[in-house]
Structure 1
Amino acid sequence: MKKINLDSNEKIEKISGKLKVLQNNQLPKFGIDAFLIANFIDKSKSQRLLLADFGAGTGIIGLLYAIENPGKVFLIENNSQLSQLEEKTVGLNDLKKRVTVINQDINNLDGTFQLNSLDAIVSNPPYFDSPNYSKKNLSKERSHARHEENFDLAVLVSQSKKFLKSKGKLYFIYRAERIADFIDLLIKNGFGISKMRFVYGKKNTGAKLVLVKAIKQGSNAKINIEKPMIIFNERNEYTKELQNILHDNKYFFYVIQTADNYLYAGTSDDVNRRFATHQAKKGAKFTRAAIRHPLKLVYQEEFSSKSEALSFEAKFKHLSRIEKERYIGL
């Protein structure tokens, strides 16, 4: 990955060790929605597939797709500052051969794409009505990203109808309470819904959002209603599924001191659960022996990925006993 010069308001967000995305405090930022819709897109091994992200923002949806699939991606964004940010991000990730940034209004793409030329279109369209949106302290740029002003669902559907191939796929996320609106809009434009998934904040609450896949000229498509997606568990933590989607799979390095004074090192995504397994003599062969017990968890350290934690574990095991004790503070 290339080095770039950052402006004072810019920062780099690292995602899963595979992707770096630039964000600017004065511009719209990506949120959970972007990860949900990116995860919802069907995978493809085709290098010829053409996918466009309409209203790309930071570009994260198209970029998440690009790092997992070989096709070409177009990031369409009307805001020139966001487009410049996307250009930096694409260069930072060495994706210029497959990802193209286009600074253009969604309503004016006739000179950008040929009719019926795209295999897929994805979008996280604005889904707040301007008069009803209560947060008035947003900058003009950030406000446009949330309000249905220059780009709404009707524009997304009509432009998708124009530029998608026959049987091309449209993916988007929208407010669940507006389901009647978008179903009517899709049908009127010749789309058939083939897949939907409702998103809930917690179990036993109403759906907040819905993920939708629609097929151009697919009026005979059967709708697959996928299992609900739950954001938070009963402890107000992200569910395991959401952690996976967010690439937030933090991993831990830990050290256990045994009764006979050995230091056992390991890694896990849940140290408490893993330590309980060791205590029950069901963990590693080394800690099953009665002579090792009782065990004491003396150290743990968080890493951003499993590979990083495993790499550090290997280095730690090559340290001398004195070096190990110094590192973990014994």
Structure 2
Amino acid sequence: MINPDLQLGERLDGLPAQEIYIIQNPDMFSYSLDAILLAHFAQVKGRGRGLTVDLGAGTGAVGLFYAPKTVGPVYLVEIQAQLAAMAKRSVVLNQLQKRVQVLQADMQAIFNDIKPGSAEVVLSNPPYFPLNETTKVNDDEHYLLARHEVSIDLPALVQVANKLLKNNGKFYMVHRPERLAEILAALTARKLMPKRIQFVYGKADREANMVLIEAIKSGRPGGVRIMPPLIAYQDNNEYTAAMHEILYGPAWQ
């Protein structure tokens, strides 16, 4: 890692297991545990030489945490200029500029830069909350776009993933369990067949607060595997052994 180029209000956060560091500004947006868990959950296809695309990359956390698992190119796609600029500096900070490229654009308008049907893996930690008449939204534009389906909704996101992927390419997403029915419907309607699902729990006695999903483009229907649950915290608010291993253990394979 080179010396960070931090601007006013920014900080440097890192993931020890992957030896990756992310430049962030908490007044705009900061990644959280869901980004780490998505990057960990996502598997490498083949020998990892194919293209990976991170949709709605924010400051680049998911794609950058995933990048050490691969040897191929990675695109970080982010619509917000300030977040994309931080992601670009994080790419340089981690000396990944030969493989990782930031594309500041609406993800629905990227196909002049990324050829349809060219990606082996697509990752997304999308906005979780739909917009409707009763939705309470954040006044801050950065948080509004990151948390609410303003620039793109769930079906449109899945369609972009479908268009990017090669046949048998894999789509990985983290989302809220209460929207699981919508997610599965959106995936299967666009020929992305769910294959692995893992629920994440804050503590063992609570309801799941995250769901991790793997889907394969043009995969065979059926064969969905429900993985063992992942529990983040013990009763004393310390990380569980499994979570500690993800965060501080050896590099992910």
Decide: shared fold, TM above 0.5: yes
- 1:80 CA displacement: 0.7
Identity of aligned residues (%): 34
- 1:45 CA displacement: 6.4
- 1:4 CA displacement: 4.1
Cα distance in 2 for partners of 1:218, 1:201 equals: 32
In structure 2, the partner of 1:146 is 147
Which residue type is aligned with residue 238 of structure 1? Y
Cα distance in 1 for partners of 2:244, 2:137 equals: 28
Which residue type is aligned with residue 108 of structure 2? N
In structure 1, the partner of 2:94 is 93
Cα distance in 1 for partners of 2:30, 2:234 equals: 25
Cα-to-partner distance string for 1:124-156 (whole Å, 9 max, x where unaligned): 0111234555464x5211221011111222122
Cα-to-partner distance string for 1:199-221 (whole Å, 9 max, x where unaligned): 11222322222100001111335
- 1:48 CA displacement: 2.4
Change (3 A) 1:116 1:32: same
Cα distance in 2 for partners of 1:37, 1:119 equals: 16
Cα distance in 2 for partners of 1:14, 1:149 equals: 29
Cα-to-partner distance string for 1:142-177 (whole Å, 9 max, x where unaligned): 221011111222122101111100011000011111
Task: Tell me if the contact between 2:49 and 2:70 (Cα under 8 Å) persists in the aligned partners.
Answer: no
SS in structure 2 of the partner of residue 28 of structure 1: coil
**Mean Cα deviation higher: 229-238 or 175-184:** 229-238
- 1:3 CA displacement: 2.4
Cα distance in 1 for partners of 2:152, 2:246 equals: 27
**Larger Cα-atom Rg:** 1
Cα distance in 2 for partners of 1:82, 1:206 equals: 32
In the TM superposition, structure 1's runs of 4+ consecutive aligned residues that sit over 3 Å from their partners are 130-136
Task: Tell me if the contact between 1:44 and 1:70 (Cα under 8 Å) persists in the aligned partners.
Answer: no
Change (3 A) 1:119 1:44: closer
Change (3 A) 1:206 1:14: closer
Cα distance in 2 for partners of 1:21, 1:243 equals: 19
Q: CA RMSD in A?
A: 1.9
Cα distance in 1 for partners of 2:177, 2:229 equals: 12
Task: Tell me if the contact between 2:34 and 2:125 (Cα under 8 Å) persists in the aligned partners.
Answer: yes
Task: Tell me if the contact between 2:198 and 2:213 (Cα under 8 Å) persists in the aligned partners.
Answer: yes
In structure 1, the partner of 2:159 is 158
Check if 1:167 corresponds to 2:168. Answer: yes
Which residue type is aligned with residue 176 of structure 1? P
- 1:117 CA displacement: 0.8
Task: Tell me if the contact between 2:79 and 2:104 (Cα under 8 Å) persists in the aligned partners.
Answer: yes
In structure 1, the partner of 2:210 is 209
Gaps of 5+ in 2: none
Cα-to-partner distance string for 1:227-266 (whole Å, 9 max, x where unaligned): 011122122222111122233x6xxxxxxxxxxxxxxxxx
- 1:96 CA displacement: 0.4
Cα distance in 1 for partners of 2:91, 2:143 equals: 21
Which residue type is aligned with residue 244 of structure 1? E
Aligned residues: 248
- 1:179 CA displacement: 1.1
In structure 2, the partner of 1:260 is none
Cα distance in 2 for partners of 1:19, 1:150 equals: 28
Check if 1:9 corresponds to 2:9. Answer: yes
Higher relative contact order (CA 8 A, sep 6+): 2
In structure 2, the partner of 1:181 is 182
